[in-house]
A and B are shown apart, each in its own frame.
Chain A
Amino acid sequence: MFQELGHRVIASIRELFYACGFFLRTIKESVPFFRRRQIGYRVLVMQLLFTGVEALGVISLIALILGGVIIVYGVDLLPQFGQGELIYSILITVIMRELGPLLCAFIIIARSGTAIATELGQMVVSHQIEAYTSVGVDPISYLVVPRFLGVIFSMILLNIYFNLFGLIASFFVTSFIQPIPMRDYMYDLITHIRSADIVSSMIKSLIFGAIIALSATYNGFRVEQSSTEVPQVVIKAVVQSFVLIIVADALITLIYYL
């Protein structure tokens, strides 16, 4: 039993070190990526297209509905307690700092995290990775880095769009239900937004994007021989991403309030 336990602990530590090495290698390869203007640039553009542009519809819809619901409830309830001004703080906290990055991350995990893990897993099974290596193409710099950067940029951009739709476009939607003077709304909203809110939201997007991309690519490469391993690593990538994102969100929020 002790032997089994020790074996598992050592294997976990080795895996952790390997993951750290993978992460550092990805970061190292990402730095000169734009300078080299290599063929991976096209992969980055396609990644932005699939992860960012194609997810815009669902992101904007969620943001619109969420923002609209908060505005309708807030405008109705909060003035009853003499706290009508709180609606802006609630909107900013929920849309910009908390749910915006989280929901964007969940959607990217569901759409792109699974796709990346599956794609890389299939490439391993079909020996494409070996082929790249044999002709001197580094799989990290050619396959991982464009996806890593693409997911991070997409995450940041989608978060910006989520904020735009959740904070501003939802106002126009709720104007049909609860008319609020637009000038007052915009003025109060901008007054309540702090630079710390924007920075917090951007940092979350950056970290969540990195977690999703690394988890997907790392698990994709863990496939060894059989295509039956692919769904298993996809599930693992999704669960790992969810857990790490929740933990990271809690840590960032904690640091923000310290």
Chain B
Amino acid sequence: MKFHIRFAEQVVGFFVLLALLAVAGLLILMGINQRWFSKDYHFTSRFESGNNLSNGMPIKLKGFKIGAVDAVTLLEDNTVMIDFHIFDTYYSKVSQNSVLELAVNPLGIGSSGLLFYPGKSQGPPLPENSMIPSLDMEEGKRLVAQSLVSIPKGSDAVSDILVSIGPTIDSLNTLLVSIDDLVHGKNTAPLGSLIRETDTIAANVREMSDGAVAPVGSILDNVETLTESLKDTTGIATRLLNPQGSVAKLLNDNEELYKMMSNILHSLASSAEEIRTLLAFANEKQPQISTLLDQTIDAINQGEDVLTGLKNNPLLRGGIPKTTAQPTTFGGLRDREF
């Protein structure tokens, strides 16, 4: 018989027991974590509106959850009453003159919550089921006005932006007024003076340009006349070919100009012939020069090889050492000094 069938009752008992223990452990942990066995202190508060108020909404003190809303009720006078509880660990914070404030993100994102501000009173905590005013109601505002409760400055990014919008608009308004003064020349600051001077300079330039218009006009008339005369090119060709013209007179000089130019060309031809002869000679001698250069290169290479061989010769490297006189070990008695 298989083990688990033979000991079926034990196996099933263990199977059931383990599951029950797991459930019991989970329930105990949940109870501790979710404060099933802790005492909560119940209070009430009033608000003008029930917007953004809901059951289970957390009540926070400096970012810590210290309680939650239990119920939201609309009263006969159209105000809204909330019942909420504070955890026993934070009950001592519920001092006299404490207030509540509904915190809602203006962008409509994230969770809203009720912010709890403890009063400055040093007395014992408020008794259970007491009424804690909200900042919606007159009593809460009065407590703040009398500085009986301290409300720290909001530190969220959106609040900071909203707070800084007012000064930014003021600055923008001042800037626009300054620009308006500048434009109308009322500003006495350096920038105002600069703008006024610029205005004067512009007026002077305008006067100068008005005076320069007449000469420029006459120059333009001359250019126009010249352009008109250049339009007809047949007149120029006729003047150039005229036998009485300057070109004809220059060419009609009994060939003196031609002869001069011919002599110059002859001289240039002789010089070119000499250069050619020189180049032919150099060209003729080129193999000999080339052979000479090759031989020189060979001689240098051989000399370099000899020097390399000398350098690498182990006997000669470092020079020839000084020889030390080695006395002979054998000598006659007559050589001895006494």
A contact set with B: CB distance below 8 Å:
45-46, 48-49, 52-54, 56, 153, 157, 160-161, 164, 187, 190-191, 193, 195, 198
Given contacts A190-B29, A190-B33, A195-B30, contact A46 B22 (CB under 8 A): no
In B16-32, which residues have CB < 8 Å from any A CB? Answer: 16, 19, 22-23, 26-27, 29-30
Give me the 6 closest cross-chain CB pairs, A-B, nearest first. A160-B19, A48-B12, A157-B19, A190-B33, A49-B8, A190-B29
| Given A49-B4, A54-B4, 5 additional A-B pairs, CB 8 A | A46-B5, A53-B4, A164-B22, A190-B29, A190-B30
B contact set with A: CB distance below 8 Å:
4-5, 8-9, 11-12, 15-16, 19, 22-23, 26-27, 29-30, 33-34
A195: chain B residues at CB < 8 Å are 30
Partner of B33, one of A54, A160, A191: A191
Minimum distance in angstroms from A37 CB to a CB of chain B: 13
B5: chain A residues at CB < 8 Å are 46, 49
Minimum distance in angstroms from B113 CB to a CB of chain A: 16
Cα distance A153–B16 in the bound complex, in angstroms: 9
Minimum distance in angstroms from B321 CB to a CB of chain A: 76
Tell me whether A160 and B15 are in contact (CB under 8 A).
no
A161: chain B residues at CB < 8 Å are 19, 22
Minimum distance in angstroms from B59 CB to a CB of chain A: 17
Cα distance A87–B29 in the bound complex, in angstroms: 20
Q: Is the interface of A mostly helix, strand, loop or mixed?
A: helix
Tell me whether A48 and B30 are in contact (CB under 8 A).
no
Tell me whether A46 and B30 are in contact (CB under 8 A).
no
Q: Is the interface of B mostly helix, strand, loop or mixed?
A: helix
Cα distance A191–B11 in the bound complex, in angstroms: 33
Cα distance A52–B13 in the bound complex, in angstroms: 11
Determine the residue in chain B with the shortest Cβ distance to A44: B12
Determine the residue in chain B with the shortest Cβ distance to A202: B23
Given contacts A164-B22, A193-B26, contact A52 B12 (CB under 8 A): yes
Cα distance A48–B27 in the bound complex, in angstroms: 24
Tell me whether A193 and B15 are in contact (CB under 8 A).
no
Cα distance A119–B11 in the bound complex, in angstroms: 23
Partner of A48, one of B15, B22, B29, B33: B15
Tell me whether A45 and B29 are in contact (CB under 8 A).
no
A48: chain B residues at CB < 8 Å are 12, 15-16
Partner of A45, one of B9, B27, B30: B9
Minimum distance in angstroms from A217 CB to a CB of chain B: 20
Determine the residue in chain B with the shortest Cβ distance to A56: B15
A49: chain B residues at CB < 8 Å are 4-5, 8, 11-12
Minimum distance in angstroms from B10 CB to a CB of chain A: 10
Minimum distance in angstroms from B48 CB to a CB of chain A: 32
Tell me whether A53 and B34 are in contact (CB under 8 A).
no
Partner of B8, one of A46, A191, A193, A198: A46
Given contacts A190-B33, A195-B30, contact A52 B15 (CB under 8 A): yes
Given contacts A187-B33, A190-B29, A193-B30, contact A160 B22 (CB under 8 A): yes
Tell me whether B16 and A157 are in contact (CB under 8 A).
yes
B34: chain A residues at CB < 8 Å are 190-191
Tell me whether A53 and B23 are in contact (CB under 8 A).
no
Pairs across A and B, CB under 8 Å, 16 listed:
A45-B8, A45-B9, A46-B8, A48-B16, A49-B8, A49-B11, A52-B12, A53-B11, A160-B23, A164-B22, A190-B29, A190-B34, A191-B33, A193-B30, A195-B30, A198-B26
